[in-house]
Amino acid sequence: MLHGGRPISSSRVRDLLRAGHVRDAADLLGRPYALDGRVVRGDGRGRGLGIPTANLASEDQLLPARGVYAGRVLVAGGAWHTAVVNVGERPTFGGSELVVEAHLLDFVGDLYDTSVRLVFHARLRGEERFASAEALVERIRQDVLTTRELLPPPAGRGV
C-alpha cells in the first residue's frame, strides 16, 4: 500500500514519530499515535506553577520527538480530556531525564497509579528552555489556547 507515492511501513511511521510529525504518522496509521501508561508522581513542579501534570510511565514505547503536543487523554471510566503534552527533559529546570507529562484541560481529580491512554494529535512546538518559570507558564498558557483551537472538547467517548 502506498501513501504519498511511498510504501507505508512501520519504519516510516517510526521515523515520522521520531521527527515529531505525529499528524503524518496518523495518516499512515489510520489513527492518531497513542501511548499507554501509568500515572506516576513527579516532583510537583507543575502543580506549584498552577499547571498540574500527569506524569506518564511509558516504558518500552516509542516516544515522539521532544516537544509540546496537543492531545487527548483517556482516563478511567472512559472519559476523554483534551491535554497539552510535553515530551522532554524540562530544560528550564535543569532536567536531564526524559519525561512525558500531560496537562489535562478542565480536569480536576487524582490520577496517580491509574492507567491512561495518551493520544497525540498535533505538534505545537519543539522543546525550549525559558529564562524563568514565569516565561514558561506564559508559553504554556499560549499552548493551552492553541490546543483548545485545534481540538474542540471531545464528544462523549470519542478521541
**pLDDT digits 0-9 by tens, 115-151:** 999 999 999 999 988 988 899 999 999 999 999 999 9
Please give the tally of structural domains in the chain.
Answer: 1
Q: Which domain does 79 fall in, by range? A: 32-150
Give the HSE-up count for residue 15: Cα atoms under 13 Å, Cβ half-sphere.
Answer: 6
Residue 140 belongs to domain with CATH number: 2.40.30.30
Task: Fill in the amino acid letter for 65.
Answer: A
Whether 19 has a pLDDT exceeding 90, the answer reads yes
The reply to whether 24 falls in a domain is no
Q: What is the CA angle 78-55-82, rounded to 5?
A: 45
The reply to whether 89 falls in a domain is yes
Averaged confidence pLDDT in the chain: 88
How far apart CA 116 and CA 53 sit, in angstroms, is 13
Q: List the one residue out of 118, 116, 124 whose CA is nearest residue 33.
A: 118
Contact of 28 with 20, CB cutoff 8 Å: no
Percentage of residues in the chain with pLDDT exceeding 70?
Answer: 91
